[in-house]
Structure 1
């Protein structure tokens, strides 16, 4: 086995000090362009690779962010998490991804494991956390940002869409379209996104003297959403909704398939369907789904900025509650109110 090349050997080859070599391979460190070029050239010639773990032990900074993900079935998350990883990498951080279930107990177990990696920060993407583990992170000096979830835990920053306002927009749109029997297929009840969307939706119906005609639980899963659609629409015509708000697009696409291909109903002639997220398939001609757009670029930018602020200014950074407004993207899966035309709202 070949002998491992050291930073001292690189320094000797480049004609610089060993500390200069260290600065070249430390993100954010100050070093002249000429010195950097000499060091990188010598490192390439010798086949040198810096020991990131050793550097972290010395500096106390791992340059690693722990990213906890509940599930990736929904098209929204792979795209958003890719943007999040790229955004952090632009600032010299690497992302370590952990998968976790929805239960708070499981999240706590995963978080304990993450803290063992000496991460500089944590992003929880669409998963909850307990107040106990939040306290544990704060005691360890590890900032946490919740992405696409909101919780009332002191000292924790959250970044979401304005889900309450989004739910209101859907109800206002369906009422303006003249619908009389408006149904709702919910997401997982443990998610703040689900609760806020439903609350805004119900509030507008209540203000109009109306109530939800039928409700089924889709759990944010395809199979549950399909079963919910069958229970809601495989009934006599006067017993089924003439419109349905589905709590996210992942479920709405499955609901549309059941309505059209299993039950033989037409969209939007027999029933209007509105979703939430504006995932890529929502714009495909096969679905052309009217939906609320989650502005992933803005959500990611806010998350990265907040996390870096907490890392760089641990004593001064204040926790934030960010809720980003999402536009209604009007397509053809729902009956159009008079004077409306289908169009795609740009980010």
Structure 2
């Protein structure tokens, strides 16, 4: 025979408090004295009681679950960012439900519709775009959306990114200061605002100094495609002497091709720079010069915006672009006395 399930009423009787006091103790953000909370938690531990989160969500109308939509995890920036987002949300009494979707608008919309079926309180879309119809559906349901590491031309959507334009500009200035003459770029997915802004800033920085791109490839932020782009870019007599890859993930692929397939020295023959500053960028094998995305600040800003919208649906959408520093390492020639 199954043992009787311990209820909140049992805990209340054991602790000598009201049932509503038990409910407040297990409701994140509810007001309750430390003395009462200690008595309730002690009684709950003794009885083996666990609150029924799903039942409480039916009463409050809040699941305290945030849906996180991610395009891909191969890029090490995203596992690190998801961890930061999850920890920040957990500290505020929320949990994360992760769904995967490609950059395809149709697939993203289908996954998002499935995500809405889980009655999430809010949505964070990491490098995934939102269609107009789906944005309207979320708004009608009172579900706020924040775009993480992606911006979109829609005044209804909040977004948090690094300052991609300024970051690209910094890299151009750095490579030019290093005396490079044949500077190339390997782009990510061209539908991404991050790609467009990084390249726009980079090209503007080159043009300001009287330079132009000597070569350009596209690899959709994909490791293997970046290898293909690098092989094609260096299969020419006037090879680049510097390459800006739109993220670190692609820069690692390019460095592998240059060193192990083409026998070129990095940075002796070619300087390579990236964008993100993932953990691997600091490993001696790559020692990559890159622009650091302030992932911790980005995650905190994303959570703050989302919870502000949950607390007050009339809060206006915000667009945040955080500056990230240029991190100098050994993959690129560093001009003497240069300070970013």
TM-score (norm 1): 0.95
Task: Provide the C-alpha distance between the structure 2 equivalents of 1:314 and 1:105, rounded to a whole number of angstroms.
Answer: 27
Aligned to 1:66: 67
Aligned to 1:171: 172
Residue 220 (structure 2) pairs with residue 219 (structure 1): yes
The SS at the match of 1:160 is: strand
Matches within 5 A, 1:40-79: 40-79=41-80
CA RMSD of the aligned region, Å? 1.3
Moved more, 221-230 or 279-288: 279-288
Aligned to 1:335: 333
The SS at the match of 2:123 is: strand
Aligned to 2:119: 118
Aligned to 1:3: 4
Matches within 5 A, 1:269-284: 269-284=268-283
How far did residue 155 of structure 1 move?
1.6
The SS at the match of 2:31 is: coil
Matches within 5 A, 1:240-255: 240-255=239-254
The SS at the match of 2:171 is: helix
Task: Provide the C-alpha distance between the structure 2 equivalents of 1:275 and 1:102, rounded to a whole number of angstroms.
Answer: 22
How far did residue 164 of structure 1 move?
0.6
Aligned to 2:188: 187
Task: Provide the C-alpha distance between the structure 2 equivalents of 1:65 and 1:13, rounded to a whole number of angstroms.
Answer: 34
Aligned to 2:197: 196
How far did residue 339 of structure 1 move?
2.6
The SS at the match of 2:317 is: coil
Aligned to 1:324: 322
The SS at the match of 1:305 is: helix
How far did residue 338 of structure 1 move?
3.8
Structure 2: tracts of 5 or more residues without a match: none
How far did residue 154 of structure 1 move?
2.1
The SS at the match of 2:184 is: strand
How far did residue 93 of structure 1 move?
0.6
Residue 154 (structure 2) pairs with residue 144 (structure 1): no
Matches within 5 A, 1:17-28: 17-28=18-29
How far did residue 132 of structure 1 move?
1.3
Residue 304 (structure 2) pairs with residue 305 (structure 1): yes
Aligned to 2:106: 105
Task: Provide the C-alpha distance between the structure 2 equivalents of 1:220 and 1:136, rounded to a whole number of angstroms.
Answer: 30
1:298-340 Cα shifts (integer Å, max 9, x gaps): 111111111111111112x121110011111111211222432
Task: Provide the C-alpha distance between the structure 1 equivalents of 2:290 and 2:101, rounded to a whole number of angstroms.
Answer: 28
1:248-270 Cα shifts (integer Å, max 9, x gaps): 00110110011011100111121
How far did residue 242 of structure 1 move?
0.8
The SS at the match of 2:49 is: coil
Structure 1: tracts of 5 or more residues without a match: none
How far did residue 207 of structure 1 move?
2.4
Aligned to 2:89: 88
1:197-227 Cα shifts (integer Å, max 9, x gaps): 0111111222233221011112101100111
The SS at the match of 2:321 is: strand
Task: Provide the C-alpha distance between the structure 2 equivalents of 1:340 and 1:50, rounded to a whole number of angstroms.
Answer: 58
1:169-212 Cα shifts (integer Å, max 9, x gaps): 11111111111111110001111101110111111222233221
Aligned to 2:34: 33
Residue 307 (structure 2) pairs with residue 294 (structure 1): no
1:277-309 Cα shifts (integer Å, max 9, x gaps): 111111111211111110111111111111111
Task: Provide the C-alpha distance between the structure 2 equivalents of 1:338 and 1:29, rounded to a whole number of angstroms.
Answer: 58
TM-score (norm 2): 0.97
Task: Provide the C-alpha distance between the structure 1 equivalents of 2:20 and 2:49, rounded to a whole number of angstroms.
Answer: 15
